[in-house]
Chain A
Amino acid sequence: MPGVASGSGDTRGASGSNDSSLVPYLPELRQPVVYSLHHGLKPPIGRLSISWSRGNNLRVSVLRPPSAEDSDDVEVGGRVVEVRLSNGDGETGDAKWRRIAYGSVPPFALLQSRRSSVASLSKMSMSPSPYNIDWWEYVMEYSKDINSLLGDSKAPPNPVIDDPKTVLRNVEEPTSLKAAWELMEMFYADKQCQSWLLERLVDWLADYDSLLSSTQPTVHSKLVDFQNELVGLQVIEDNPKYWEVLSSALAVGWIEIVVKMLRLHGSYQFHQLGNREIENGLVETVSFLISKMPRMRPEVEYGRLGECYKAKPDFIKAWEKWRGKITKLDCSAFWLQCDHRQTREGLKNMIQIMLGNTDNICNVTCHWIELFISHFLYVRPFTVGLESMYSLAQKCMQLKPMSSAHGLIAIILGILGENTEVILAECSRAFGPWMVAHAIELLTTGSDEAEFLLQEERHSLGGISIAELHRLVYAQVLSSHPLTWQIAPIYLTSCMKQGMGLLEILLYKLPIQHNETLLKNLEICRLYELDTISSNIMKIAGVYHWKHGRKGSGVFWLQQARDEIRLSRIAQHLFDSVGKSISDESFKQWEGLIELLGSESKTTGGLEFLHKYRDFKKSLKQVYGGKTTDTARQAVESLISLMKNPSTPQRFWLPILHDSLKLLNWQERPLLNVSQTSLLLNKLQELSMAKLRPDFIEADLPPQALSSVRLALATNLGRAILEE
């Protein structure tokens, strides 16, 4: 599984794709890539310890042996290093990758929602195909959106004063990523361009030939070299390089450059026109014919040359006519009258290229792909279909073997060979998981076989398809970074089988200490109805806050999690602390907690008592503060209801009564009537009996507490009887 993407130059070397075979990727034979892990510690190293962080970051603890006392000056005993196992393609920076990652979310999500609505529509109409004829148009829209993220393809506006000596336009540095995306777009998604695929390929090479220069010389690199020399050249047409570069550019169809360069020919100079009339006429004729070259394409952009034809019969007719003119020019008598040898030979060579002379074409092109393009332009202009392209590619590669394959070339070979697995493997190797996860949308649109291959559920992959696997791998990469994990759920929820499983693990591994992350996390749970994981997360947050002294937040989150077991333990805990200390400070501490715990929860047992106890304490406090008989009466009501309640634990009876001594000894008049006093006396009696049992818990009160309560009750009873 291509979870470990590397894409650096040494990777390609290690996998041994040096041979010129069309399918250099043989998964079974791949040797592991060996990386060095720099830790900066002095040897010896005693032990390694590994741990996966979120996503696919691997943390390695490198430990020196503890007994290595020989080097006392070494302070560090070990180091933890983090290894990122997916770092894109090496040419795109981290920030740019994140921009692409975030930018590709809306088009991806839109395409997924369109797929599901198209699928549900086709289910309703019982159509045999899940996609209607317009599906590729959606994919094209998606592809264009993604493509626009990968870089600006528009050339800067032409300068007002055109420098005649600038043959190459300055454009933004093209990227392999964009080049690869456009390749797949034209071959798979864009059904409209199928009939002028060859012209698209010519344009593609014009845009991206410079990328291939990194591995070997190309027509583009020849042009760049010549451009640098150009300024110092006096008589340009005497220079053999001028003619060589002209032929090369013509061979790959860059006709605007060719025509512009021909205009630099010395015979155009004003003072020369008179005596080089014939020579200039030949240059102009060739240049005119080149600019009228028939092209099989819907339109020609402004400023570009060539005559375009939309329908094939028209194109064939025009092409043959054009070829006829070139043949006629080739046989013209004017050549004999042309005195300038270089011009004569140079132009003749260009004519041979346009006539499709394979030897000449082969001589002026550098890379096999240039030779390939030039074959389409001049040797087999009417080719259609990938099959003949593939055999032609093989032939071209034999003529111009590569020393090392550029990642793009490997992808082209996969496309021409109609080998989806190779394309995916090369995309993954050169550009990493982002590319594969997104390009699959294009590949599945291309053909039924590719769709079957990518969407078929496989036992060897644990019951998922290749498409889902690559989405999972990409989502895992997104999970690795604190700035991108938030978009991983969008890809995971588009995975039918295992996305939710991975999403749950991702959410579980997010830290809950930071409220912002916690809330974001819970929001995602709510969005995808992940109730179990959300209650688990709230449980973790609850325990974390409870244990770290924020008891209120702890109870809040445990309640959100509906964690009855832990809440009832907390109630029990409060319950235990009530008996210990009834000082006012601690009362304040747990008063809020009782409020938070609420009274709804049945299983929280002693809560009812805690609520009543809180009411009693409150009114008692008022009694101590004010001194009105009314508040005292209220306190007595609370006391009686507390003592009547069966959930009030026995061990609290005496402390409660002891707290109420002031009420029992009320100065003005007895506050408790006879039956109330008898109830309390009975409780006191019960308590004395219970004292004999072994499990009795002695309250932490002064030794005379019981007798003072008993005395107060007896006095109150006497006074109450008198009053009644």
Chain B
Amino acid sequence: MEKPLVALDKGTTCSSWNYSSQRLATGSVDGTLAIFDTRDPASSSFSCTSKSKVHEAAGIVKIVWVPPEYGDAVACVCADGTLSLWEEAAEDAQPIQWKLCTSFKSGSAQLLDTQFGVSPSGLKMVTAYSDGHVKVYELLDPLDLKNWQLQAEFQNVIDSVSTFGKAMCLAASISWNPQRGESQESSFVLGFNSNTPQLNSSKVWEFDQAHQRWLPVAELALPGDNSDQVYAVAWAPNIGRPYEVIAVATDKGIAIWHLGLNPDSDGRLSLEKIAQLSGHNGEVWQMEWDMSGMTLATTGNDGAVRLWQSNLNGVWHEEATFEPTS
């Protein structure tokens, strides 16, 4: 049932597959970015084709691939909170190699998560910081990953008037709406794990084209739970359902939400919590939806991989558990 694909080097801390699952990028504790490739799409033997030193002093903690419309590139988040973009390119008769495009210094606050979204106007990058701030950058030239412009900066709160200066966030999770239609407004969901209750709950942010600003259109938490620390969020692909599906993991378990497609008069989207699932007995590390948005895979503190599905009556349940053994 299982097949080994790649052996990873000692000190590997994170890994990420590209859009077609043909390339693997891994980061290690000594700041090295390694790329693994397969020669032929039908083959499953991967070998390391490139190694680059991304950071001299800090390890890589997270790698995110840039959408393929913008080249073969990754964002590396390092343990000291810096973010750098690396791209595979050939320049003027030189061989193809991975090169640094640009890096972002986050100042006093540490970068916690970053994700890319494709919108009609171009590539956007959302970054979340340990002081509870969220920044949205826009790529200026679609063929050049060097130049980014800060489009917006805000905090993850419904009421935009209040700001929280002394927020201390341990983790953040961002997930873009995977829909890439021409007319679709860009939106993403974001939750924090922090000491400031108002920042924590996952909120859906949508770009308001008319006023050129980001607005919170839904809060994925019941009134009693909105201060729960959020471990992970995942927006499911929508292949034609009349609602969106978003999974939110907090210390209370994994919640599955249905989000309406059309806003009410206040601009808010209708919400329904469909399921509250428990399984990992603690922190959830990662949640990933399959390509149809029907199966959710999760990992967590208990060291297991769990698969969740809804049955024919719409009842969510755990379908299978994978327990790693040597």
* Chain B interface residue bracket vs A: 35 or more
Compute how far the CA of A78 lies from the CA of B242 in the bound complex, rounded to whole angstroms.
41
Stretch binding the partner chain, chosen from B47-55, B159-167, B316-324? B316-324
Looking across the interface, which residue of chain B has its beta carbon closest to that of A459?
B314
- A460-B312, A547-B89 known; A51+B21 contact, CB < 8 A: yes
B264 within 8 A of A: no
B311 within 8 A of A: yes
Compute how far the CA of A43 lies from the CA of B303 in the bound complex, rounded to whole angstroms.
12
Report whether B324 and A45 are in contact in the complex, using a CB–CB cutoff of 8 Å: yes
Looking across the interface, which residue of chain B has its beta carbon closest to that of A570?
B143
* Nearest CB of B to A294, in Å: 45
Report whether B313 and A460 are in contact in the complex, using a CB–CB cutoff of 8 Å: yes
Among B238, B289, B307, the most chain A Cβ lie within 10 Å of the Cβ of B307
Report whether A536 and B322 are in contact in the complex, using a CB–CB cutoff of 8 Å: no
Report whether B305 and A43 are in contact in the complex, using a CB–CB cutoff of 8 Å: no
B314 cross-chain contacts in A, Cβ below 8 A: 458-461
Report whether A539 and B69 are in contact in the complex, using a CB–CB cutoff of 8 Å: yes
Report whether B303 and A421 are in contact in the complex, using a CB–CB cutoff of 8 Å: no
Compute how far the CA of A113 lies from the CA of B24 in the bound complex, rounded to whole angstroms.
42
Interface residue count on the A side (C-beta < 8 Å): 99
A124 cross-chain contacts in B, Cβ below 8 A: none
Q: Name B243-299 residues within 8 Å CB distance of A.
A: 243, 285-286, 288-292, 294-295, 297-299
Report whether A54 and B21 are in contact in the complex, using a CB–CB cutoff of 8 Å: yes
A497 cross-chain contacts in B, Cβ below 8 A: 240
- A35-B322, A547-B89, A547-B90 known; A501+B305 contact, CB < 8 A: no
B291 cross-chain contacts in A, Cβ below 8 A: 52, 54-56, 476, 479, 502, 505-506, 509
A587 within 8 A of B: no
* Nearest CB of A to B207, in Å: 19
Report whether A62 and B1 are in contact in the complex, using a CB–CB cutoff of 8 Å: no
B238 cross-chain contacts in A, Cβ below 8 A: 501
* Nearest CB of B to A72, in Å: 9
B211 within 8 A of A: no
Report whether A510 and B20 are in contact in the complex, using a CB–CB cutoff of 8 Å: yes
Looking across the interface, which residue of chain A has its beta carbon closest to that of B307?
A4
B285 cross-chain contacts in A, Cβ below 8 A: 47-49
Q: How many A-B residue pairs have CB under 8 A?
A: 297
Compute how far the CA of A506 lies from the CA of B182 in the bound complex, rounded to whole angstroms.
18
B87 cross-chain contacts in A, Cβ below 8 A: 547
A466 within 8 A of B: yes
Report whether A77 and B305 are in contact in the complex, using a CB–CB cutoff of 8 Å: no
B-facing mask of A580-614, CB < 8 A → 1, else 0?
A: 00000000000000000000000000000000000
Compute how far the CA of A689 lies from the CA of B311 in the bound complex, rounded to whole angstroms.
77
B17 cross-chain contacts in A, Cβ below 8 A: 51, 53, 59
Looking across the interface, which residue of chain A has its beta carbon closest to that of B73?
A547
A-facing mask of B1-29, CB < 8 A → 1, else 0?
A: 11111111111111111011110101011
B185 within 8 A of A: no
Looking across the interface, which residue of chain B has its beta carbon closest to that of A14?
B320
A81 cross-chain contacts in B, Cβ below 8 A: 2-5
- A421-B312, A462-B240, A539-B69 known; A82+B44 contact, CB < 8 A: yes
Compute how far the CA of A509 lies from the CA of B248 in the bound complex, rounded to whole angstroms.
25
Looking across the interface, which residue of chain B has its beta carbon closest to that of A476?
B292
Cβ-defined partner of A50 (8 Å) among B286, B319, B323: B286
A228 within 8 A of B: no
Report whether B19 and A4 are in contact in the complex, using a CB–CB cutoff of 8 Å: no
Looking across the interface, which residue of chain B has its beta carbon closest to that of A543?
B71
Compute how far the CA of A148 lies from the CA of B312 in the bound complex, rounded to whole angstroms.
31
B320 cross-chain contacts in A, Cβ below 8 A: 4, 6, 32-35, 85
B191 within 8 A of A: no
Cβ-defined partner of B21 (8 Å) among A40, A59, A506, A513: A59
Report whether A27 and B311 are in contact in the complex, using a CB–CB cutoff of 8 Å: yes
Compute how far the CA of A354 lies from the CA of B242 in the bound complex, rounded to whole angstroms.
62
Q: Name A410-464 residues within 8 Å CB distance of B.
A: 421, 458-464
Report whether B142 and A569 are in contact in the complex, using a CB–CB cutoff of 8 Å: yes
Q: Name B157-212 residues within 8 Å CB distance of A.
A: 180-182
B108 within 8 A of A: no
B239 within 8 A of A: yes
B309 cross-chain contacts in A, Cβ below 8 A: 1, 3-4
Top 5 A-B pairs, shortest CB-CB distance: A460-B314, A501-B239, A549-B90, A462-B241, A78-B8
Interface residues of A (CB under 8 A from B): 1, 3-4, 6, 27-28, 30, 32-43, 45, 47-64, 66-67, 74-85, 87, 421, 458-464, 466, 469, 472-473, 476, 479, 482-483, 497-498, 500-502, 505-506, 508-514, 517, 532, 536, 539-540, 543-544, 546-549, 565-566, 569-570, 573
What 13 additional pairs, Cβ within 8 angstroms, besides A33-B320, A47-B13, A66-B12? A35-B320, A48-B286, A51-B17, A56-B290, A60-B322, A63-B12, A74-B10, A82-B3, A476-B290, A482-B42, A511-B20, A532-B182, A546-B143
